Structure 1
Amino acid sequence: METAAAPDAAAEAPLPRPRRRRGRTTLLIAGAAALGVVAGVCAGFIVQADREPTALPPLSQPVLEQGKGEVEPLSAAQDRRVKTDGDLRKLLITRPKGAKDTAFAVDSDGWADLATYAAEYTRPGTTFNNLVDDEFRRAAMASWRVGESYNVEIALVQFRQESKAAASEWAENGEYWAEDEDDTRSWPIPGAEDNGTAYVHDTPEQEAGYLPMYTAEAYAWRGDICVEIQVYDSKPISKAKIMDLAQRQVGKL
């Protein structure tokens, strides 16, 4: 009697759950740099105290004429705030035809509130507090799967930025951790005006019982929005794939 062929274990094995984003290490680096600046300023005051006083320039300065007439306001097409203050989900690139939902989708309506977005990190409690301090406003997210293992996740994270340039800080934090990975290649994102970088990690993550997981990611910022792109696959990911996603997403902002 014939027996049924054993199923291909590798074909049925799933991808492991992606390793999520990490903490704000760059803030510690920035803090150390700030302490260095303070120390330098103190040393400068000590040196200056031993020098002869320098005469100040006269207070009178030439009077500049004020322009006449009214300045024409920017059109809706020219004013970025008209676009970014609207429905942030409309600025996400659309998923390709035939793509399916991922196993790790955040929310079907495309929004991620503060708690939901913080849960994407390995230390959600700390991340939640950091997001509050950095004036988190809202996040729009999209994700999809093509085939059995190619997964894409994109987040547009918007900050109020009343006291700090948080969008650039969060993008730089993502870049810091991406560059910390071994066997990683990186390229600036065309059109991001030196405010974005794409990465491909050539060594996969391995976990018993799961397919190998290759990853690629990209980070950029424009104004008050930080762009985060994560790609996962059981096969190596090309530069062309992550760069296409990054360029198209930055272009929509």
Structure 2
Amino acid sequence: MELNDTVSPTRRPRGRTVLIIAAAALLGISGGTAVGYGIQAERPPTPLRALAQPGLGYPAKALPADKAPAPLPASEDRQVRTDGDLRKLLVERPEGAKASPDHPRKGGEWQPLSDYSREFRNERSMFLFLAENDVRRIAVTAWTQGQQRQSDVTLVQFRANTRMGAADHFDGQLSYMPEAEGGAGNSGDPIAGTGRGRYFLYAVQRDPGYLPFHRARALAVRGDIMIDINITDAKPISKKDIRVLAERQLERL
């Protein structure tokens, strides 16, 4: 996983002549702006046009209590569900699976922002991105199956007043997945009912002296939560394995 930085090239200095010309231009613009504001201040105010619709589009008084719509039950109000203990919304560990050494607590645990950012190649950029976009909290669960398979499920939640936090994080991760360097090298498959959520199978990595390394990943968004699921194994991982795990987690949300 990687979040790429875009670094603008540094401009070289152009000498004193350019500075003098720039200063003169700035003085001319500032002087013209000041004169324009002075002229505008002396003019009488222009009256506003009458409203095209004199009546309001909503009632002047609140509806009676017996006619007001009932609030959504907690089971249907997504914000009520996600404002509680986020760890309880993590998918449950499959029967027979063992706790992961990295995240041994059954039912999930909180993950510090610094630990989550450390999982990315550009740790500093990821930390700054999430902090600037008002990340609220991160919950994670993980387990092992068989000899080598490990599954990790992470929920990254952003504050409610952040307009695009989860969506931006999702877009940043999804953007490089088709790339062979750092990504899966393919466009993945859609996760039904998620809009743009997708799951991916990576090409197997084979290094001398090591077992084969297979990996699958799923990414999706539910409101203010970005879902990031990873499976690794020495044996091949089927599309069904990663798809079903993603669907189970989405059902919890």
Q: Same fold (TM over 0.5)?
A: yes
Contact 2:199 2:242 in 1 (8 A): yes
Kindly provide the amino acid, as one letter, of the partner of residue 233 in structure 1: D
Asked whether the equivalents of residues 231 and 242 of structure 1 are also in contact (C-alpha less than 8 Å), the reply is yes
2:52 to 49, 60, 67: 60
Which residue of 1 is the match for residue 69 of structure 2? 71
Kindly indicate whether the alpha-carbon contact (under 8 Å) linking 2:157 and 2:226 is maintained by their aligned counterparts in 1: yes
- State the AA in 2 paired with 1:85: D
**Structure 1: any 5+ residue segments left out of the alignment?**
1-20, 29-56
Encode CA deviations 1:182-238: one digit per residue, 9 max, x unaligned.
Answer: 65362111132x14111112x212333321111110000011100000111112211
- The separation in 1 between residues aligned to 2:231 and 2:177, in whole angstroms, is 13
Aligned to 1:88: 86
CA contact (8 A) 2:139 2:155 kept: yes
- Superposition deviation, residue 59 in structure 1: 3.5
Q: Which residue of 2 aligns with 1:208?
A: 208
Distance in 2 between the 1:107 and 1:114 partners? 18
Q: Distance in 2 between matches of 1:86 and 1:80?
A: 10
CA RMSD of aligned residues (A): 2.3
Matched, 1:234 2:246: no
Inter-partner Cα distance in structure 1 for 2:173 and 2:109: 21
SS of 2:188's equivalent in the other structure is strand
Query: Residue in 2 aligned with 1:187?
Result: 189
Greater gyration radius: 2
1:22 aligns with 2:22: no
User: For 2:210 and 2:139, how far apart are their aligned partners in 1?
Assistant: 30
Normalised to the residue count of structure 1, the TM-score between the two structures is 0.72
Q: What's the TM-score once normalised by structure 2's chain length? A: 0.72
Question: Structure 1, residues 130-177: CA drift from partner, whole Å, max 9, x if none?
Answer: 111010111110111110111111100001142431101111222222
Q: How many residue pairs were aligned?
A: 201
- What's 1:118 paired with? 117
Structure 1 Cα separation of the partners of residues 103 and 96 of structure 2? 20
